[in-house]
Every structure is written in structure tokens, then in C-alpha cells.
């Protein structure tokens, strides 16, 4: 497993991480522990969750006992912003809420510090300086080691960067956004350029396009029962389209010619980007963890990256 420094920090993360949104929902406590233990065995050290995953705290609650034996040897990341209760004081990025949210996250995770604490979304009603000053106090207290953003637009990452710099505050070392072979918006909206310019580590989520890039969805066939894109899921309407199937067939051919799976291509393509810190890949079984970890070993050269862009019509 390769380890990379995240952004302009001294924090090293495994190039393949684990997205923990399945814990507490699709996985129970025992299954959660099985997946986490397999990650540690495979050298995956970056674990990303959020207070709302699994249904208002369940992911963090299931993770707490499972990560405890490994706490010193992993990087634990979580996020806050979305409603965790009723009323105005249970969401957002205000100083009042952040201070409460961090305490709740640590309690559920059974830890006294969070390695990477991220704002899950930008808060248009709270000045960014207020958010960053609250996060600075948490860093100084030792409850949070590093801070990052999630779902910020490129201009918001820039605004946060300069606000931190001008006020001598801790800055976001990471930006977590959706990014995959099928979702190239971070390139189109300038986020990848911003990450390169200001040395912010990009943490792609949904690297497999909600499972579409695993290849288990086939044209003309119903989605596998119980899969993320089955039924009337809004994600199904987004990904299960004829042009995406055409692209998938071409990408599968590219991977097979080189002796790799589609999953390995999807993850390695992201890992081959210099601004990517860790690819946040989900898993519901230890076997999936093994395939995700192997995917981080393949690096595409410049010619191969250009060929993929040609396939994608970029």
C-alpha cells in the first residue's frame, strides 16, 4: 500500500481509503468490524465517516469499538453539517454547533481526538471566518488534528484558503468531493486546479459511480436486487443510461487488455492523479476490501491516461 502526504500537511494517508457510509445501514456491528479489520490487514489506514452516516450517528457508533484496537495506527476522519436533531442548533457550521458536534462525534467514535474533521457542506448562513476560528480552537485544544472541507465549490476552497492565511488560522488540508471516471466535474469547475495550486489533497468519494463502474450493471438487464442502483433510486436515473453503458464497455476492454478489472481501473485512474490524497472506496465485505486495496497498486502512464480521455470524449 502506498501512503501519501495529504495536501500541505505532514499527515500520511493510504492511497486507498475506506468510505464508511455503509456502516449502521447496510452493515451491522459485527460486519463493520470485519471490514475494518480487513482494511488494517491490507494496509488501508484512512477511514472516512460522517455523523449522519448510517442514520444519525450509527456509522460512528458501530465504528467506535471496532477501531479502538487500531486507533494509533489509523487516520480517522469524520464530518458534520447535516441535521442531527430538531431545531436550529443541530446543524450547520456555526461555532455553537461545531463545538457540540465534535464532542458528539468523539463520544460515538469512543475517541478523544479526530485526525481529520471536515465540514460536510458549506454553510451560506455562517461566515467562513467564524467556522475557521472555531476549527482553529479545536485544533489548538488537541481534539482535532487537521481540518478539511467536503462538497465545497472551487471558489469556496479558495475563499477558505485565503481567510485562513490572512487570519493566521489552520487551513483546510483536504477537499472531499465526488469524482470518478464518469463524474469529471472537479476538473470542469476548477477544483482540481485549485487543489494543485494551493496543495490541497483531493479525497474523491463515489469513485465507482455508486457501483456502476464495478461492471455488475449490464445493459438490458435489471439492476441486481439490493444494489445501490436498484429500484427507483435517483442514482439509477443518473448512471444507468445508454451512453454510460457504451463508455463502460470501452473502459472494460481497456482494463482487460492490461489484465485488470474495471474496479482496478476506476480506482487506479484516480490514484494516478497527483493531487489525489486517498480514494474513498466503500466496501460491504472483506473481499471487496481486498480488491480495493489491490487497485491502489496500479499506476497509469501518460499515454494510458490520454487514451482514457479519448474514450471519455474529454
Give the pLDDT score at 76: 98
Per-residue pLDDT, averaged over 256-266, amounts to 96
Return the active site residues: 53
Per-residue pLDDT tens for 78-102?
999 999 999 999 999 999 999 999 9
Give the pLDDT score at 304: 96
Per-residue pLDDT, averaged over 20-41, amounts to 97
> Which ranges in 22-94 belong to alpha helices (H)?
29-42, 58-67
Q: Which are the contacts of 206, defined by CB distance < 8 A and separation ≥ 6?
A: 178, 179, 180, 183
Reported confidence tier of residue 232, pLDDT bands at 50, 70, 90: low
The CA-to-CA distance between both ends of the chain, in Å, stands at: 30
Reported confidence tier of residue 219, pLDDT bands at 50, 70, 90: confident
Give the pLDDT score at 220: 67
Instruction: Give the mean pLDDT of the chain.
Output: 94
Considering just the CA atoms, what is the radius of gyration of the chain in Å? 19
Per-residue pLDDT, averaged over 280-297, amounts to 95
Residue 74 backbone dihedrals phi, psi, to 5 degrees: -130, 165
β-partners of residue 117 are 78, 147
pLDDT at 222 over 80: no
CA gap 45, 16 in Å, rounded: 8
Give the pLDDT score at 240: 73
Reported confidence tier of residue 313, pLDDT bands at 50, 70, 90: confident
Give the pLDDT score at 215: 81
For residue 294, give the nearest of 15, 8, 82 by alpha carbon.
15
- Grid coordinates belonging to 39: 482494511
Per-residue pLDDT, averaged over 39-65, amounts to 97
Domain boundaries, the chain: 3-212+264-299
Give the pLDDT score at 184: 95
CA gap 91, 104 in Å, rounded: 12
Give the pLDDT score at 225: 65
Pairing of strands 46-48, 75-80: parallel
Give the pLDDT score at 190: 97
pLDDT at 15 over 90: yes
* Integer angstrom CA distances of residue 298 from 79, 81, 112, 255, 269: 30, 35, 36, 11, 9
- Grid coordinates belonging to 191: 477544483
Q: Which residue has the cell 448512471?
A: 239
The enclosing H or E element of 78 equals: strand 75-80
CB atoms within 10 A of CB 288: 16
pLDDT at 230 over 90: no
For residue 125, give the nearest of 97, 166, 162 by alpha carbon.
97
Give the pLDDT score at 14: 98
User: What is this structure's pTM?
Assistant: 0.94
Give the pLDDT score at 239: 77
Range 3-212+264-299 has CATH code 3.40.980.10: no
Q: Which are the contacts of 79, defined by CB distance < 8 A and separation ≥ 6?
A: 48, 49, 50, 51, 117, 118, 119, 120, 150, 176
Query: Any idea how long the chain is?
Result: 314
Give the pLDDT score at 208: 95
CA gap 270, 268 in Å, rounded: 5
pLDDT at 226 over 70: no
* Integer angstrom CA distances of residue 98 from 93, 146, 227: 6, 14, 34
Amino acid at each position: 500500500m502506498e501512503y501519501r502526504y495529504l495536501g500541505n500537511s505532514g499527515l500520511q494517508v493510504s492511497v486507498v481509503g475506506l468510505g464508511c457510509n455503509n456502516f449502521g445501514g447496510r452493515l451491522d456491528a459485527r460486519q463493520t468490524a470485519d471490514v475494518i479489520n480487513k482494511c488494517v490487514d491490507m494496509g488501508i489506514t484512512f477511514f472516512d465517516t460522517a455523523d449522519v452516516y448510517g442514520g444519525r450517528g450509527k456509522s460512528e457508533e458501530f465504528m467506535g469499538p471496532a477501531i479502538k484496537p487500531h486507533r494509533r495506527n489509523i487516520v480517522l476522519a469524520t464530518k458534520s453539517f447535516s441535521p442531527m436533531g430538531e431545531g436550529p442548533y443541530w446543524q450547520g457550521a456555526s461555532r455553537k454547533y461545531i463545538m457540540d458536534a465534535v464532542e458528539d462525534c468523539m463520544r460515538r467514535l469512543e475517541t478523544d481526538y479526530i485526525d481529520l474533521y471536515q465540514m460536510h457542506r458549506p454553510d451560506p448562513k455562517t461566515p467562513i471566518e467564524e467556522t475557521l476560528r472555531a476549527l482553529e480552537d479545536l485544533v489548538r485544544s488537541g481534539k482535532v488534528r487537521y481540518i478539511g472541507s467536503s462538497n465545497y465549490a472551487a471558489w469556496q476552497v479558495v475563499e477558505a484558503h485565503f481567510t485562513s492565511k490572512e487570519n493566521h488560522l489552520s487551513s483546510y488540508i483536504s477537499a472531499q468531493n465526488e469524482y470518478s471516471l464518469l463524474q469529471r466535474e472537479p476538473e470542469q469547475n476548477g477544483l482540481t486546479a485549485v487543489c494543485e495550486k494551493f496543495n490541497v489533497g483531493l479525497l474523491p468519494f463515489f469513485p465507482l459511480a455508486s457501483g456502476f463502474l464495478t461492471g455488475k450493471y449490464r445493459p438490458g438487464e435489471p439492476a441486481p436486487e439490493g444494489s445501490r442502483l436498484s429500484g427507483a433510486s435517483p442514482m439509477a436515473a443518473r448512471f444507468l443510461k445508454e451512453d454510460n453503458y457504451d463508455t463502460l464497455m470501452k473502459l472494460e476492454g481497456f482494463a482487460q487488455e492490461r489484465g485488470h478489472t474495471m474496479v482496478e481501473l476506476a480506482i487506479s485512474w484516480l490514484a494516478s492523479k497527483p493531487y489525489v490524497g486517498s480514494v474513498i472506496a466503500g466496501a460491504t465485505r472483506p473481499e471487496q476490501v481486498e480488491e480495493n486495496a489491490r487497485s491502489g497498486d496500479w499506476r497509469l502512464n501518460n499515454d494510458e491516461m490520454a487514451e482514457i480521455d479519448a474514450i471519455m470524449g474529454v
